[in-house]
Amino acid sequence: MADTNMPDFEPVIEYLGLKGRYQGVQAVLQVLGIYCLSFAVLIGVFTGYEPAHECNAVNVTEMRDLFSVPDNASLEASYGKCAVTLVVNDSAAVTTHTMSCVNGHNYFGNKYISFTSEMDLVCDRTGLGDLSQTLLMLGQGIGGFIFTSLADRFGRKPIYVFTSFGMTILHILIGVAPEIGSLTLFRFLIGGFQQGVCLSSLTLFLEMMSPRHRMLGSVVCGTLWSTSVLTLGLLAWLLRYHSWRTLQLIMTATTSYCVLLPWLLMESPRWLACNNRADEALEIFRKWCEQNGKDFAHVKSLFDKNVVEKLRVKKMLEEREGEEKPELHVEKYTILDLFKHKQIALTSFVLAFVWVTNGVTYFGLILTSSSLAGDRFVNFLLSGLAEWPSHSVAYFMLRRMKRRLIETIFLVLSGVCLITSVLLLLSPEQEASTASIVFSLLGKFSITGAFNALYLLTPELFPTNLRSIGLGWSSALSRFGGMVAPYSRFLAEKAVYGPGTIFGCMCLISALLIRLLPETRGRPLPNSIQEMKAWRSEKPGIRKKETCIDHAFIVPPESKRDVEDTETHNYRYSLVET
């Protein structure tokens, strides 16, 4: 049963509404954090780009002495990407000698176009640049764990302000890094700070909304991400003849809004009230009413009745729980419980593979966009443009179709498009090359839609006390996919069709595995492992008219429409882990 003593902010938020000057200012400050997220993660596509290169010329006279070439023999040198080949031709025989690029590499006048070329991270050092991208993804995982806890303890605003300033400083430090060691360290740190900005800004954004608007908020967040991808591609194209450090330092401007946050950004009233700071929360609501022309007396009445009083009763019951309610027992779970029960273990392993597939495919397609036929800047821009409408399409599908079906459709479409793109790459025709790019972009569109559906499906599959753990496990594995994705570039260099084949097959396998999971649309969220097990024995299509619970509020579904609307309540889990 639901705990009727849980604080209910929804009457207050519903009365204040979605539109108004206060929400406008706060939303802009919050979504600026969301908008800057892709720059830190994806800028390596351009700053770490490996341009065409060959070995610098060697002194042929010195080579004669080094290899004891007779005076009557000719000596010619040919220069490859990673080796110099010397051909000795005398009257007796033709011999060859191979050596490394002893005089460095020639980047055809573009040495400072990326840190890869400036720091000579090619040939035997070629993995160091991609290692910095992998460690950035690792930093995201660690930062997400650390800053989530800090935001719950110290508040959303302090963490948002701190990590935004941190990202600004790290953009500068990366732009002036003298060598690969310090650059890798700074990129690792910016990955962690990026997650701090992500989690705190998204949480602030969601906690300002009523439940029925949160799925719409997810579309806004996804569209902002895709818009920032397009912005990054455009900036990189405009600065294509400049040093990579110029583009990196310009990224400082994308987070410079942080100077406004300490003065203009407000803390989440929800967090304040739940942390014994109800007076501060009420003061924020007072400013909210003043700026929007709302009745503060009415808001205070709703706040006192639905929040303050329930918090007081809840605290009193918690203090007396040991004496008066010995029969109450709340089961505590750990990540090990994901694998103790057959059905939950199956769900966990299936989701693990699907999340890895989504992560490696999404980031792999972005990071290998420069290996596609045509201009690398155009390919990146088209890649960002392809995912832009995907968020809206996924939104409308999620409101009308089954979760599992939507995920299957997007995964199958992505797999088929990527494999078709690979087959077209094998054709020598120019038209086939263009068509290959089109199908690759359709694959990007589809995997973005799959991510949208997966973020909603995952938390709906786990019982209440395992929900955050289950989503955290799944999200962490998507980071693993992102860590592996940078190395797909090496495969693309050896076999241009390699990444697309792997991504496409993984998508098709995931589409088959997702059918092993139960459908969640129209069902109340499971509150226990027993309820989750019972799903298998229920007939498909039956909807239980029970009270749907989302931790902090209760909405009794009196109609089919209400049941569908309550599904949006749980969507906040997806956004907090993006």
Per-residue pLDDT of the chain (578 residues; tens, 9 = 90+): 444 555 667 777 777 777 878 888 888 998 898 899 889 989 988 998 888 889 988 888 888 878 777 777 888 888 888 898 888 887 777 888 888 888 888 998 788 999 999 999 888 888 888 888 889 988 888 887 788 778 878 888 999 999 999 999 999 999 999 999 999 999 999 999 998 898 888 888 877 877 677 777 777 888 888 899 999 999 999 998 899 999 999 999 989 999 999 999 998 888 888 777 888 888 888 888 888 888 888 878 877 776 666 667 666 666 665 554 444 444 556 667 677 777 778 888 888 899 889 888 888 888 777 655 567 888 888 888 888 888 888 888 888 888 889 999 999 999 999 899 888 877 777 677 778 888 888 998 999 988 888 877 877 777 766 666 676 677 777 777 777 777 776 777 677 778 888 889 999 999 999 988 887 776 665 666 776 666 655 544 444 443 333 333 333 333 333 333 333 333 333 333 33
Q: Which fold has domain 332-578?
A: Growth Hormone; Chain: A; (1.20.1250)
Task: Note the pLDDT of residue 22.
Answer: 84
For residues 63 and 469, give the distance between their C-alpha atoms in angstroms, rounded to a whole number.
63
For residues 209 and 220, give the distance between their C-alpha atoms in angstroms, rounded to a whole number.
13
Look-up of token digits 């800004």: 201
Task: Note the pLDDT of residue 6.
Answer: 58
Residue 273 and residue 308 in contact, taking contact as beta carbons nearer than 8 Å:
yes
For residues 571 and 550, give the distance between their C-alpha atoms in angstroms, rounded to a whole number.
10
Task: Locate 203 and state its tokens.
Answer: 């949480």
Look-up of token digits 């706060």: 26
Task: Locate 22 and state its tokens.
Answer: 């206060």
DSSP 78-109: EE-SS-EEEEEE-SS-EEEEEE--TT-EE-TT
* 86 strand-pairing partners: 77, 97
Task: Note the pLDDT of residue 548.
Answer: 35
Residue 174 and residue 190 in contact, taking contact as beta carbons nearer than 8 Å:
yes
pTM of the model: 0.78
Task: Note the pLDDT of residue 335.
Answer: 67
For residues 306 and 301, give the distance between their C-alpha atoms in angstroms, rounded to a whole number.
9
Task: Note the pLDDT of residue 374.
Answer: 65
Buried (b) or exposed (e) across 274-287, using 16+ Cβ within 10 A? bbeebebbbebbee
How large is the angle between the packed helices 156-176 and 244-254, nearest 10 degrees? 160
Domain limits, the chain: 9-52+122-314, 54-106, 332-578
What secondary structure letter does DSSP report for 21? Answer: H
What secondary structure letter does DSSP report for 511? Answer: H
> Looking at domain 9-52+122-314, which of 2.60.120.10, 3.30.1490.20, 1.20.1250.20, 3.40.50.720 is its CATH number?
1.20.1250.20
For residues 568 and 126, give the distance between their C-alpha atoms in angstroms, rounded to a whole number.
46
Residue 75 makes CB contacts below 8 A (sequence gap 6+) with: 60, 63, 64, 69, 86, 87, 88, 89
Residue 46 and residue 39 in contact, taking contact as beta carbons nearer than 8 Å:
no
Q: Count the Cβ atoms, other than its own, within 10 Å of residue 331.
A: 11
* 555 strand-pairing partners: 548
- Pick from 164, 172, 198, 161: nearest CA to 252: 172
Report helix, strand or coil for 551.
coil
Q: Count the Cβ atoms, other than its own, within 10 Å of residue 423.
A: 16
Taking phi first (over 0 means left), then psi (-120 to 50 degrees means alpha), and beta for anything else, what does residue 93 get?
beta
Q: Do domains 9-52+122-314 and 332-578 have the same CATH topology?
A: yes
